[in-house]
Amino acid sequence: MKAAVLTDFGAPLSIQALPDPEPGPGSVVVDVAATGVTGYAANVFNGSRNYPLELPVAPGPGGIGRVRATGPDATRLTVGEWVFCDPTVCSRDDAARPDTILQGWTYRTEAALPLHRLYHHGSFAEQMLVPTENVTPIGDIDAADAGRWTAVGRLLVPYGGLLAGDLRAGETLVVNGATGGFGGAGVAAALAMGVRAVVATGRNVRALEDLARRFGPRVRPVQMTGVEADDRRAIVEAAGGPIDMVLDFLPREATASQVLAAVLAVRPGGRVVLMGGLRGAYGDLALNYNWLMHNDVTIRGKWMYPREAIPRMVGMIRAGLVDLGQFDLTEFGLDEANEAVAHAAANAGPRQLTVLRPERVGRRS
């Protein structure tokens, strides 16, 4: 099979022939039709993200494809069926302490290395070996729409956070970092779940206006100034009532003060879910013990999403609650993998989707 391979951090991806993967017990092989390219893929490939990743590798976390061959333990999957491939691969030998990797992306901890070595290559390839439980049928789609369906991967991440925070219809949510890729998808997912209002924060006015125009009056855009108390006041005013939940998606470049501007706006009894990238000293939130205790506030982190979220997100799309038409797509063939990575870095945003189509040749917008 043909694949775009990362041989050294900082080197461009090179198109190579790799052996076709073979399914075994517990795995299936998928013909990759489309995979999303994230805005920070360039930073993973040049090494600046310091993601643990053994090279060489055909990178790419998950995607949309068709089942090519199943292992002997697959009970329902059929050859040719359209599926979503979930990149979050979990170990099966200690339910209390599962080790996880993102297939073709990073192994996170040394303990997870055996998983990374077995499910090594990702979706920047014509075929991919995937654990059986990581493959979810999405029903029939037009092959031309496979790129658009990669948005499922973008939507599932914030949906995992909204489920973790037990978001209910009729509630008011703040999405902190709503002008970003995952934050913007969080706005779409929350609207689909029936929220009363989403306060969408960001510094980029044009991106905020675009969110409000696209999603209508339930979205309340608030421009962040970087002055914590002012920003919190603006968030509370825009909510126009108690804030039930905060979903934070600020990246590693942001500060604790930017996170706290939203977190401390939550109502007594409210929930806060942290999904962003703050780290090091910037990641210390220094939350006040008494504020947490007296206000009965729940704060939790969330990484990715549970498996059962996948058919539910597919169901919301099928029901018309989430419109995949909201995304602006630019598609590249496998031979243009480096162009795709550069395009994704220059066009990160809530509605932009950069997609690699391994079976195609040439760019399309």
Residues that bind ligand NAP (CB under 6 A): 39, 157, 177, 179-183, 202-204, 207, 249-254, 258, 275-277, 302-304, 348
CB of 208 to ligand NAP, least distance (A): 7
Q: Which residues contact 328 (CB under 8 A, 6 or more apart)?
A: 351, 352, 353, 365
- Asked whether 62 and 124 are in contact (CB, 8 A), the reply is no
CB of 346 to ligand NAP, least distance (A): 12
- Closest residue to ligand NAP, judged by C-beta, is 180
CB of 205 to ligand NAP, least distance (A): 8
User: What end-to-end distance do the CA atoms of the chain give, in Å?
Assistant: 26
Neighbour count for residue 283 (Cβ, 10 Å):
14
- Asked whether 12 and 124 are in contact (CB, 8 A), the reply is no
In the complex with ligand NAP, the residue whose CB is nearer, 180 or 358, is 180
Q: Which residues contact 154 (CB under 8 A, 6 or more apart)?
A: 36, 181, 182, 185, 353
In the complex with ligand NAP, the residue whose CB is nearer, 41 or 69, is 41
Residue 272 phi, psi dihedral angles, 5° rounding: -130, 130
- Asked whether 109 and 99 are in contact (CB, 8 A), the reply is yes
CB of 283 to ligand NAP, least distance (A): 11
CB of 348 to ligand NAP, least distance (A): 5
In the complex with ligand NAP, the residue whose CB is nearer, 168 or 203, is 203
In the complex with ligand NAP, the residue whose CB is nearer, 71 or 349, is 349
Q: Give the Cα separation of 286 and 125 in Å (integer).
A: 44
In the complex with ligand NAP, the residue whose CB is nearer, 277 or 358, is 277
In the complex with ligand NAP, the residue whose CB is nearer, 132 or 204, is 204
Smallest Cα–Cα separation from 126: which of 362, 360, 363, 365?
Answer: 360
CB of 163 to ligand NAP, least distance (A): 12
Between β-strands 271-274 and 245-248, what pairing exists: parallel, antiparallel or unpaired? parallel
DSSP string, 236-250: HHHHTS---EEEE--
CB of 90 to ligand NAP, least distance (A): 14
CB of 241 to ligand NAP, least distance (A): 24
**Coil, helix or strand at residue 177:** coil
CB of 131 to ligand NAP, least distance (A): 19
With the CA atoms of 328, 185, 204 and 41 taken in that order, what torsion angle do they form, in degrees rounded to the nearest 10?
Answer: -70
In the complex with ligand NAP, the residue whose CB is nearer, 152 or 250, is 250
Cα distances from 88 to residues 161, 297, 307, in angstroms, run 15, 29, 9
In the complex with ligand NAP, the residue whose CB is nearer, 38 or 172, is 38
Residue 311: cis peptide before it, omega within 30 degrees of 0? no
In the complex with ligand NAP, the residue whose CB is nearer, 9 or 303, is 303
Q: Which residues contact 320 (CB under 8 A, 6 or more apart)?
A: none
